[in-house]
Structure 1
Amino acid sequence: MKKILVVDDEFDLLTTWRLVLQLEGYTVVTAANGVQALSLARADPPDLIVTDWMMPKMDGVALCRALAADDRLMRIPVVLSSAAERTPPIEHPLVEFHRKPLSIDSFVEIVARLIGPA
């Protein structure tokens, strides 16, 4: 079963994405910030990371940079989302930016396109 790490400091959104992905058959691990996410990814690399941009401790852009700098994690696709229109330059070859709000259907389609069905 494919594993997805979902990272967001908004509990309601984190819970919603976790439930949606679990219903699709994916295994889901969650983190409330980039520091926690990086630790989880290093301990057991996921197949995909879905992260918010603006979070405390380490934001999503800094998380993408840390992932790109790690040989074990640099090939994991990342979905970076934010309500902001533009992101700063991201130093990670497999990052896709999607503007919030994302519909559930769009979110599921993005995940399936990047890593296939569960």
Structure 2
Amino acid sequence: MTSPKFSAAWSLILVSEGRVTCASNGVEALECLKHNVPDLIITDWMMPLMDGRALCRQMKAQSELAHVPILVHWAAPPADVLQPDWNVCLQKPATMSLFLTTVSNLCTRAV
């Protein structure tokens, strides 16, 4: 996931809009998803234990999670992605306006 300061900043911004659950890595995220299916997943590409690509693949392979939109936030996109398992990617650093607009659009489509 992103650095604790970065993650905390985005969480504070998003928490004012609704409930936010944070995970430190992809493994922890999948465990959280067993108990709560969110309206949107925001993940970093580079994380310990399970990276963003593996998290997206595992989510899309599960029928109860396959419909959840995914926003991937990364420093540099991988060159070998032909069919992504996510809806949108934003390159770091994304502006707050772009980030919040993207989150809003993805949540609106999910409803």
TM-score (structure 2 length as normaliser): 0.88
Using the TM superposition, give the Cα deviation of residue 10 of structure 1 relative to its aligned residue in structure 2, in angstroms.
1.4
Matching of residues 2-81 of structure 1 within 5 Å: 8-23=1-16, 25-81=17-73
Deviations 1:51-97 (A, max 9, x none): 000011000010000001001000000000111143542552x4211
Distance in 2 of aligned mates of 1:87 and 1:40? 30
Deviations 1:8-28 (A, max 9, x none): 2411111011101012x2210
Q: Tell me which amino acid in the other structure corresponds to 1:10.
A: S
Computed over aligned residues only, the root mean square deviation of the Cα atoms, in angstroms, reads 1.5
- Larger relative strand fraction: 1
Distance in 1 of aligned mates of 2:58 and 2:64? 11
TM-score (structure 1 length as normaliser): 0.83
Using the TM superposition, give the Cα deviation of residue 101 of structure 1 relative to its aligned residue in structure 2, in angstroms.
0.5
**Deviation >6 Å, runs of 4+:** none
Q: Which runs of 5+ in 1 are unaligned?
A: 1-7
Corresponding pairs, count:
107
- Of the three residues 67, 73, 78, the one matched with 1:86 is 78
Q: Residues 34 and 13 (structure 1 numbering): CA distance in 2 closer, same or farther, change over 3 Å?
A: same
The percentage of counterpart residues that share the same residue type is 35
